Amino acid sequence: MDASSLVALAVGALYLAALACIYRILLTYRTSQGALAWIIGLLGLPYLAVPLFVLIGRYRFGGYIKARRGLDQALTDLLDRFERQATSIPAPGSDRFRDELQVLCKLSRLPFTDGNRCTLLRDGEATFEALFEAMENARHYILLEFYIVRSDRVGQRIKAILERKLAQGVDVWFLYDNIGSVWLPRRYLRELARAGARVAAFDNGNIRRRRLQINFRNHRKLLVCDGQVGFVGGINLGDEYLGTAMDQEPLRDTHCRIEGPAVAGLQLAWLEDWNWASDTLPTLDWSASRHTPGDQEVLILPTGPADPWETCTLFFLNCINNARHRVWIASPYFVPDFQVMNALQLAALRGVDVRILIPETSDNALVKLAAYSHLVQACQAGIGIYRYQRGFMHQKVVLVDDRYAAVGTANLDNRSMRLNFEIMAVNTDPDFVRDVHRMLEGDLAHCQLMTERDYQDRSILFRLACRAARLAAPLL
**Predicted confidence band at 80 (pLDDT cuts at 50, 70, 90)?**
low
Task: Tell me what the mean pLDDT of segment 268-297 comes to.
Answer: 85
Same-domain pairing of 90 and 220: yes
Q: Is the pLDDT of residue 203 over 90?
A: no
E-state strands within 247-388 = 254-259, 296-303, 326-330, 353-359, 384-388
Same-domain pairing of 384 and 471: yes
Range of the domain at 50: 3-56
Tell me, what CATH number does 81's domain have?
3.30.870.10
Characterize 231-253 residue by residue with b for buried, 16 or more Cβ atoms within 10 angstroms of its Cβ, and e for exposed. bbbbbbbbbbbbbeeeeeebbbb
Q: Which residue has the higher pLDDT, 446 or 294?
A: 446
Same-domain pairing of 250 and 210: yes
| pLDDT given for residue 232 in this prediction | 98
- The alpha-carbon radius of gyration of the chain (Å, integer) is 23
Region of poorest pLDDT, from 163-177, 206-220, 229-243, 305-319: 206-220
Q: Which of 24, 39, 56 is the last residue of a domain?
A: 56
Task: Tell me what the mean pLDDT of segment 303-308 comes to.
Answer: 87
Same-domain pairing of 325 and 286: no
Cα 157 to Cα 38: distance, rounded to the nearest angstrom = 46
Percent of the chain at pLDDT above 90?
53
Percent of the chain at pLDDT above 70?
82
Same-domain pairing of 453 and 342: yes
Q: Which residue has the higher pLDDT, 206 or 403?
A: 403
Q: Which residue has the higher pLDDT, 403 or 49?
A: 403
Same-domain pairing of 7 and 84: no
Q: Which residue has the higher pLDDT, 290 or 419?
A: 419
Is residue 31 assigned to a domain?
yes
Among all residues, which ones are annotated catalytic? 219, 221, 226, 394, 396, 401
Task: Tell me what the mean pLDDT of segment 32-52 comes to.
Answer: 73
Same-domain pairing of 280 and 369: no
Is residue 468 assigned to a domain?
yes
**Predicted confidence band at 125 (pLDDT cuts at 50, 70, 90)?**
very high
Is residue 29 assigned to a domain?
yes
Is residue 289 assigned to a domain?
yes
Cα 346 to Cα 12: distance, rounded to the nearest angstrom = 50
Is residue 109 assigned to a domain?
no
**Predicted confidence band at 86 (pLDDT cuts at 50, 70, 90)?**
very low
Task: Tell me what the mean pLDDT of segment 103-117 comes to.
Answer: 89
| pLDDT given for residue 370 in this prediction | 86
Q: Is the pLDDT of residue 249 over 60?
A: yes
The whole-model pTM stands at 0.87
| pLDDT given for residue 208 in this prediction | 46
| pLDDT given for residue 76 in this prediction | 62
Same-domain pairing of 35 and 66: no
The alpha carbon dihedral of 405, 408, 413, 417 has a sign of: negative
Region of poorest pLDDT, from 12-21, 53-62, 168-177: 53-62
Q: How many domains does the structure of the chain reveal?
A: 3
Q: Which residues lie below 8 Å from residue 160, measured CB to CB, with a gap of 6+? A: none
pLDDT digits over 333-391, tens only?
999 988 999 999 999 999 999 999 999 988 888 888 888 888 889 999 999 999 999 98
| pLDDT given for residue 32 in this prediction | 66
Is residue 24 assigned to a domain?
yes
**Predicted confidence band at 281 (pLDDT cuts at 50, 70, 90)?**
confident
Same-domain pairing of 149 and 269: yes
Q: What does the mean pLDDT of the chain come to?
A: 85
Region of poorest pLDDT, from 6-20, 305-319, 421-435: 6-20
Amino acid at 150: R
Most confident of 104-108, 127-131, 418-422: 127-131
Cα 212 to Cα 223: distance, rounded to the nearest angstrom = 28
Name the packing angle between helices 99-108 and 311-322 (round to 10°): 170
| pLDDT given for residue 366 in this prediction | 82
Task: Tell me what the mean pLDDT of segment 221-243 comes to.
Answer: 95
Cα 462 to Cα 441: distance, rounded to the nearest angstrom = 31
Q: Which residues lie below 8 Å from residue 256, measured CB to CB, with a gap of 6+? A: 118, 119, 120, 121, 231, 232, 233, 407, 408, 425, 427
3-state secondary structure of 246: coil
**Predicted confidence band at 136 (pLDDT cuts at 50, 70, 90)?**
very high
Same-domain pairing of 344 and 250: no
Same-domain pairing of 253 and 354: no
Task: Tell me what the mean pLDDT of segment 241-259 comes to.
Answer: 84
Cα 407 to Cα 413: distance, rounded to the nearest angstrom = 16
Same-domain pairing of 204 and 72: yes
| pLDDT given for residue 71 in this prediction | 53
| pLDDT given for residue 58 in this prediction | 63
Q: Which of 250, 273, 296 is the last residue of a domain?
A: 296
Q: Which residue has the higher pLDDT, 97 or 333?
A: 333
Is residue 128 assigned to a domain?
yes
| pLDDT given for residue 39 in this prediction | 78
Task: Tell me what the mean pLDDT of segment 459-464 comes to.
Answer: 88
Is residue 305 assigned to a domain?
no
